[in-house]
Chains A and B, each alone.
Chain A
Amino acid sequence: MKDLLTILLLTFFSLFTHAQERYFTKSGVIRFESKAPLENIEAVNRSAVAVLDRSTGALQFSVNIKGFEFKKALMQEHFNENYLESDKYPKSEFKGRIAEMPATEGFHNVAAVGKMTIHGVTKDVTIPGKLSITKDNVSMTGVFNITLSDYNISIPAIVRDKISRTVTVSVDCTLIPLK
């Protein structure tokens, strides 16, 4: 009888620990910046989708390339039509996990390990970042560099001085529990 009670209590309590497992956002902010001798180019995307499993650390990101906002129309057009070919490859994705996913609340330095797909090319990556876990949500930020040629993104010689070979990407999103 005592064992049955223990089992029932444990099951009851485990329901609470697994109750809020998955967190998500549909408005993650991704910025990228290219610093080159002649010009600095930057763009922002406010519609990144991310899902995080707090118990396993499994993490997925999806970004619609056409959602990047540029200040100059020509840059936005070249970005979509020539560099990223967004009609052909409409999304960029990350599929992986947070290594050693922290269970406690507070600030944590973490690394996201997994596969990054940009412009149809998939590469293994490890991205440093910060998690801020509270009772209500999980905030995640990270800054990393992307080398354009790694993803077959080719910049024509004419604009080579305007666009750097590596761009800096920063991620900033707050995920809430998925009900």
Chain B
Amino acid sequence: MKKYILWIIALLLVLIALYFYSEYNRKPVSAVDAKAHIVSAEELMKQFLANDSLADEQYKNDVIELNGMVSSVEKNTATVLVFSKEGASVRCTFEDIIPINDSLRVTVKGFYIGYNKDELLGTDIMLNRCVLLK
């Protein structure tokens, strides 16, 4: 009986160790699999221009699935797709350079990381770790 108990304890310790190891090495969830708010770029900008703190609260810590017409593409350390209109923009930053042109209608999914409201620069809604769905 004692022998079995020792084996069970040893097994439990191994399982606990494996759990901590996998938890420690866990990579951030990809936007692809996450549950998201589905909204058009136009609509999202409208919401922030109407009431930015309310919109920020609504999307805080969430994933957004955005569809719209790409206004411009920036290539820095990673690609940034920009959807813009008068006084506002949504900036979708990827983790790498991706092949894409502007003037395309796309669906992008990314993590909402906040917004920046500035009289000079306009209202910018920011998403990062974005993935291109289509």
State the A residues within 8 Å of B (CB). Answer: 22, 24, 26-27, 29, 44, 46-47, 49, 51, 62, 64, 66-67, 69-74, 76, 87, 90-91, 174, 178
Contact = CB atoms under 8 A, between A and B. Distances in A.
Interface of B: 23-29, 60-61, 74, 76-78, 80, 91, 93, 95, 111, 113-114, 116, 118, 120-121, 124, 126, 128-129
A132 to B, nearest CB: 16
A72 B114 contact: no
Contacts of B114: 64, 66-67, 90-91
B93 A47 contact: yes
B25 A72 contact: yes
B124 A72 contact: no
Contact of A69 (B25, B29, B91, B128): B128
Contact of B128 (A24, A46, A178): A46
A51 B126 CA distance: 17
B74 A27 contact: yes
Contact of B24 (A49, A72, A76): A72
B120 A22 contact: yes
Interface of chain A: mostly helix, strand, loop or mixed: strand
A73 B26 contact: yes
Nearest to A45: B128
A117 to B, nearest CB: 15
A49 B114 CA distance: 12
A46 B77 contact: yes
A67 B113 contact: yes
